[in-house]
């Protein structure tokens, strides 16, 4: 099976971006670890980070055509703004888990609303990059079911 991991804007800055909020690991560290974990269970993991809304939307459209089985997405700031990315995910009909490194509920009130949470299989936030590992475990369990 194939799992797609999508990272939204500014997550390319992980490691140096507000490390007290987002940690010291880089995005490449996280993606490499997830790729390994998926491969160990005999699955294929693809990933994309983009600062451009349309690139994430186009990638979700492609995912449907490619037969991607599951999406793990941290929409970053688009979480709180993007009806367009929400609609793309809905159109793809691919189950997904929403991940945030920080506990968005303990931060500014504009981060409390997500355009994705009500249509997600599950939401993980506040556990740092470990949240991606938990999301992958859950995704693999669902795929193998
Ligand atoms: C984030 C939380 C968002 O509010 C923020 O805009 C981000 C990262 C997180 O992973 O904690 O860029 O999605």
Q: Report pLDDT digits (tens) over 66-99.
A: 999 999 999 999 999 999 999 999 999 999 999 9
pLDDT at 17 over 90: no
**140 lies in some domain:** yes
Q: Is this complex's ipTM strictly greater than 0.90? A: yes
**106 lies in some domain:** no
Catalytic residues: 22, 100
**3 lies in some domain:** no
**63 lies in some domain:** yes
Q: Is 84 helix (H, G, I), strand (E, B) or coil?
A: helix
Is 87 assigned a ligand-binding role in the annotation? Answer: yes
CA of 6 to the centre of ligand 1 (A): 13
Point out the ligand 1 atom lying closest to the alpha carbon of residue 11. Answer: 12
**77 lies in some domain:** yes
CA of 59 to the centre of ligand 1 (A): 20
CA of 102 to the centre of ligand 1 (A): 7
H or E element in which residue 49 lies: strand 44-49
Residue closest via CA to ligand 1's atom 7 equals 76
Q: Report pLDDT digits (tens) over 18-65.
A: 888 888 899 999 999 999 999 999 999 999 999 999 999 999 999 999
Q: How far is CA 58 from CA 12, 18, 80, 114, 140, in A?
A: 19, 29, 19, 20, 24
**14 lies in some domain:** yes
**12 lies in some domain:** yes
Domain hosting residue 58, numbered range: 8-21+33-45+53-82+132-145
The pLDDT of 1-15, averaged and rounded, is 97
Residue 121 confidence (pLDDT): 98
Total of domains in the chain: 1
Is 111 assigned a ligand-binding role in the annotation? Answer: yes
């Amino acid at each position: 099976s194939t799992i797609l991991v999508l990272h939204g804007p500014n997550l390319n800055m992980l490691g140096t971006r507000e490390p007290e909020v987002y940690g010291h690991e880089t995005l490449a560290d996280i993606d490499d670890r997830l790729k390994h974990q998926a491969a160990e269970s005999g699955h294929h993991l693809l990933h994309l980070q983009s600062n451009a809304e349309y690139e994430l939307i186009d990638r979700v459209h492609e995912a449907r055509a490619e037969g991607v089985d599951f999406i793990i997405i941290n929409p970053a700031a688009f979480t709180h703004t993007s009806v367009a990315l929400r609609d793309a995910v809905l159109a793809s009909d691919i189950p997904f888990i929403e991940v945030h490194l920080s506990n968005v509920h303990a931060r500014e009130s504009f981060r409390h609303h997500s355009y994705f949470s009500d249509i997600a299989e599950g939401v993980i936030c506040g556990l740092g990059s470990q949240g991606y590992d938990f999301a992958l475990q859950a995704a693999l369990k669902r795929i193998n079911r």
